[in-house]
């Protein structure tokens, strides 16, 4: 899905996508996992609007979600210049007390892996048990 850089659109699509995943996984997607995935979606989409596209309404955010019985992979692209911190740098930045990259650090703390390449961020949740 693709939408223009707007926090109202982020809210709308975060709910839509979380609901779609809940419908697919049913009771296997506990309220805790549902909350975590919704948080991750909002964090990545908000970052794309704010940091990537610098609130420029004419720039778009694209989100793809791949999901199956083993994984939920969320990929978010924006039209900004991108950034290139490694996952270790994200953790290091937060551990020093700086406020930047806090959301990405929290995503890692929820057990998702991160892959950051330019203006694309992927967060992957691996199911611990078969769905």
Domain 2-126, what fold? Heat Shock Protein 90 (3.30.565)
Provide the angle, in degrees to the nearest 10, between the axes of the packed helices 102-109 and 87-95.
110
Distance (Å, whole) CA 76 – CA 44 = 7
pLDDT tens, N- to C-terminus, the chain (131 residues): 999 999 999 999 999 999 999 999 999 999 999 999 999 999 999 999 999 999 999 999 999 999 999 999 999 999 998 876 655 555 554 455 555 678 888 999 999 999 999 899 999 999 986 44
pLDDT at 4 (0 to 100): 94
pLDDT at 130 (0 to 100): 47
């Amino acid at each position: 899905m693709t939408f223009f850089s707007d926090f109202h659109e982020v809210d709308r699509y975060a709910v839509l996508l979380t609901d779609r995943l809940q419908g697919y996984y049913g009771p296997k997607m506990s309220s805790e996992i549902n909350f975590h995935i919704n948080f991750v979606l909002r964090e990545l989409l908000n970052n794309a609007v704010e940091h990537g596209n610098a609130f420029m309404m004419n720039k778009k955010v694209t989100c793809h979600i791949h999901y199956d019985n083993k994984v939920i992979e969320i990929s978010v692209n924006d039209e900004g210049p991108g950034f290139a911190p490694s996952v270790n740098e994200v953790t290091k930045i937060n551990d020093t007390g700086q406020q930047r990259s806090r959301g990405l650090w929290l995503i890692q703390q929820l057990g998702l892996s991160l892959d950051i390449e330019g203006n694309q961020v992927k967060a992957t949740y691996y199911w611990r048990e078969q769905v």
